[in-house]
Structure 1
Amino acid sequence: MINIPYYWLNFISDNNLSNKSFEIPDDFDLSGLGADFKVFTCSDIDDETSNYYPGINVVKSGYIAVACCLCGSGDPYFINVNDGESGKLYRVYHDDNSIDIVVNNYKDILRFSEPEN
């Protein structure tokens, strides 16, 4: 089982973010691609990080999968425990394990939550 940092657990709990969708526009995404994702539940974090690529490859470097792509690319979103609280949100590409920074502080995603249906 993945040891999910307390600060991430508090962040998703305090803001009711499990299964919540976000859309970050291209001009705010540091990679320039834009991001459309859904935040994982705790069980999804463990499953995606432990059992699927690229999580299996990058967990040893401190990355933990925290969200799935809603665009169909299959490229999950990660935090890195080495960054600590208020660290970056990353996109890790499943086909080559390259990594982009999406935002410098994962808390910035709160500005881009999609309305509830």
Structure 2
Amino acid sequence: MSSDDMRTLTQIQNVVAVDWYMSLLKRGPFIGANLALDDDDDQSGMGVEFIWMTPEQTVDEALKAYPGRLVLKLGLLPIGMCAEGTGDPYFLDLRGDFNEDPPLVRVPHDFAGGGDSYPLDKIEKISDHLSEFLRLSKIEDG
């Protein structure tokens, strides 16, 4: 990850989340990876085709797009976009004590209209831990 990428991510005001996320990105070739998870391994039961966002896409979702703007203030950090065409972004749930291995969730954009909050019961848990998602997912050709 370049120093420009790091500067881009610092536009997001949640410094703890950004510092942790930058550290994660430095550990592996995540950016642009296309990952798939079978329905049986996805806690939502819907399966996942996920493209890891660039730092620019992460900032755009967090600060300019919906539902990102709504759920960032709840402690969710955008990291992925749907590769199947739904437009539903994926987030790390950094609320509470996530012990360096937060849950991965999908936030359907259908419920992001008309207000300044997002209904928590519409957030779909994909995996209890990012490490579990990465272990179970397959890398797809993009």
Calculate the TM-score normalised by the size of structure 2: 0.75
Partner of 1:95, secondary structure, is: helix
- Determine which structure has the larger strand proportion and give its number: 1
Query: What stretches of structure 1 of length at least 5 have no aligned partner?
Result: none
In structure 2, the CA distance between the partners of 1:23 and 1:53, relative to structure 1 (3 Å rule), is same
Aligned residue in 2 for 1:80: 93
Provide the C-alpha distance between the structure 2 equivalents of 1:66 and 1:26, rounded to a whole number of angstroms: 20
- Determine which structure has the larger helix proportion and give its number: 2
**Identity fraction in percent:** 29
Provide the C-alpha distance between the structure 1 equivalents of 2:127 and 2:140, rounded to a whole number of angstroms: 21
Partner of 2:84, secondary structure, is: coil
Partner of 1:65, secondary structure, is: strand
- Structure 1 window deviating more from structure 2 (5-14 vs 67-76): it is 5-14
Choose which of 119, 125, 129 in structure 2 pairs with 1:105: 129
Alpha-carbon contact 1:36-1:69 (below 8 Å) kept:
yes
Question: Is 1:114 matched up with 2:139?
Answer: yes
Structure 1 outlier segments of 4+, above 4 Å? none
Provide the C-alpha distance between the structure 2 equivalents of 1:86 and 1:30, rounded to a whole number of angstroms: 16
Amino acid at match of 1:43: E
Partner of 2:51, secondary structure, is: strand
Partner of 1:109, secondary structure, is: helix
Choose which of 68, 75, 99 in structure 2 pairs with 1:62: 75
Aligned residue in 1 for 2:106: 91
Give the deviation of 1:41 after TM superposition: 1.6
Provide the C-alpha distance between the structure 1 equivalents of 2:109 and 2:66, rounded to a whole number of angstroms: 6
Alpha-carbon contact 2:49-2:82 (below 8 Å) kept:
yes
Amino acid at match of 1:31: S
Amino acid at match of 1:29: D
Query: What stretches of structure 2 of length at least 5 have no aligned partner?
Result: 1-10, 113-121
Larger radius of gyration: 2
Provide the C-alpha distance between the structure 1 equivalents of 2:25 and 2:130, rounded to a whole number of angstroms: 11
Provide the C-alpha distance between the structure 2 equivalents of 1:33 and 1:115, rounded to a whole number of angstroms: 17
Alpha-carbon contact 1:20-1:113 (below 8 Å) kept:
no
Q: CA RMSD in A?
A: 1.7
